[in-house]
Amino acid sequence: MSKLNKKIYMVAGYNTVSLGTGRNEFHPKKPRPGIEHYVEEAGRKTLEMIGGADNVDECVVGNFMAERFNKQGHLGGFFPMIDEKLQYKPATRVEGACASGGLAVVSAIKSIMAGTSDVVLTMGVEVQNTVKAIYGADILAGAGWYGKRKDGHAYFFPGQFSDRAGAYYEKYGYDYAREGMGRWFRNAVENARLCPTAQEHHNKTPDLDALYKKLKPNGKAFVDNLNVLDCSKVSDGASTIAIVSEEGLKRIGIPRDQAVEIVSFGHKVRNLTEDPPDLTELTCIKATAMEALDSAGITIDDLGTIETHDCFSIAGVLATEALGFAAPGEGAKFVAEGNTARGGKIPMNTTGGLIGWGHPTGGTGVHMAVTLWEQLTGNAGEAQIEMPADKPYALSINMGGDDVTVVSVVCKKA
């Protein structure tokens, strides 16, 4: 049975640039925009598309660690800065590590279902290029159980997923796994080149496969089983979208063909203090995605595109197995054969995903929603794919921590 008790839509998506190393305009020694800039830019652009702040009933922002990256909490209080007509309207901030953006989308859905709002301005934001990488790694370690921090790698989360990659190598073969992970990286950059806001948009490397193979994992320089190309980058950015009811859609005056219907969602949490039950499986992603698909009454064969949480290339490979596109151990082959590329069996992360577009942690779940809205309404520009008529649904998977908090959303063109 679907969790939704009424029609709910996503409209008016907007992404700022995902700023960080790789973008031509990024310079680590020059001043960069603060969190206020990203909140204001993203918020204003969506408000322009929905007829202004008068049409908004409520605001919600997903963010992970502004208190440490920016020394700033209380982010809901920034909404009236975007537009004075948001003054005195309810606003909340939600947090679930890297799934904070997905939780913002779910919070907006629940407000629509509860009947307390018809239009929710939904945002995800993170500004992380404020500290050196090694200090940022310590901040991001808060997405895991900090009680394990002293026993973990200096680069804590790359170390966690390096362990997953190492277990996969041991079980299925090093060269075999690296072929799939390398193709995942190549797909990410090729897709990002088609999206002007992506962090890897300016990447002109002529032979991505050769580059990937040249950079062997080296535990003395980084982590044992991943190279830097296997990892999403440190990113600054924000994304916004409006979550609206049927009445809200009429109020903002957006045509139905520019709206995406949210069909179902899943949200599950695994025990943060426990290690994954199997390093070669993403069990919480599997359970959450299946919940969303079951609630929608569809299977993976009905999906035309997926946005999945590829914080590391191994996470992308493992997601294909968690979803059932590939049997255990066959995900690397599934990816290497081009099945997840934009022209493949199931195009994934069509604007680059976390590795290609970027990973402003609290903003990623909303960025996924915006990408699906763009694809389903024909607003993806050069990154546009053709959705098969017999596969009209799309799925997002936003993961917080090491497969701990997961949010999945199923949608289709209205």
pLDDT digits (tens, 9 = 90+) for 230-280: 999 999 999 999 999 999 999 999 999 999 999 999 999 999 999 999 999
CA distance 122 to 15: 12
**Predicted confidence band at 3 (pLDDT cuts at 50, 70, 90)?**
confident
Enclosing H/E stretch for 299 = none
C-alpha 307/C-alpha 169 separation (Å) is 25
What is the per-residue pLDDT for 70?
A: 98
C-alpha R_g of the chain: 20
| pTM score of the predicted model | 0.98
Pairwise CA distance, residues 287 & 285, whole Å:
6
Residues for the chain: how many in total? Answer: 414
Q: How far apart are CA 338 and CA 349, in angstroms?
A: 13
How does DSSP classify residue 231? B
Residue 1 has pLDDT above 50, yes or no: no
Could you tell me the domains of the chain? 8-132+234-257 (3.40.47.10)
* C-alpha–C-alpha distance, residues 303 and 357, integer Å: 22
Q: Is the pLDDT of residue 168 over 60?
A: yes
Residue 183, helix vs strand vs coil:
helix
Report which DSSP code applies to 23. Answer: S
